[in-house]
Amino acid sequence: DQQVKQNSPSLSVQEGRISILNCDYTNSMFDYFLWYKKYPAEGPTFLISISSIKDKNEDGRFTVFLNKSAKHLSLHIVPSQPGDSAVYFCAASGGTYKYIFGTGTRLKVLA
């Protein structure tokens, strides 16, 4: 049972444009959501998070939106840069010590 889903395995975007990565979850107990960026052969690095009491959190070029009623969150990267090319994972936690990750979306930013 995949509680956190990233339905787009890959995404290509032109440099300077907006990248939108999507994530859906099924467990209504989740109350904290995170986005991570991962390069090959490295551990994931934390990007941005959002609590369920908010619907938006912004940090520089990165903005995360949360729609609790739809159980959906998205990460917006504006403007996209070639260095943003990586695999992006969303993750969720709530009520337990566990962090559940999605399957990842590979973003390629074209110069």
Partner 1 sequence: SQTIHQWPATLVQPVGSPLSLECTVEGTSNPNLYWYRQAAGRGLQLLFYSVGIGQISSEVPQNLSASRPQDRQFILSSKKLLLSDSGFYLCASPSLAGANVLTFGAGSRLTVL
Binding mask of the shown chain, residues 34 to 73, with x at each position contacting partner 1 by CB under 8 A: x-x----xxxxxx--x------------------------
d(CA 38, CA 24): 19
Bridge partners of 75, per DSSP, are 21, 64
Size of the site for partner 1 (CB under 8 A): 23
**Least Å distance between CB 29 and partner 1?**
15
Query: What backbone phi and psi angles, to 5 degrees, belong to 106?
Result: -85, 115
User: Is residue 11 involved in binding partner 1 (CB under 8 A)?
Assistant: no
35 touches 64 (CB < 8 A): yes
CB of 58 to partner 1, least distance (A): 17
Q: What token pair was written down for 90?
A: 């969303």
Q: How far apart are CA 2 and CA 54, in angstroms?
A: 24
Among 8, 71, 99, 108, binds partner 1 (CB under 8 A): 99
Could you list the residues that contact partner 1 (CB under 8 A)? 6, 9, 32, 34, 36, 41-46, 49, 89, 91, 93, 97-104
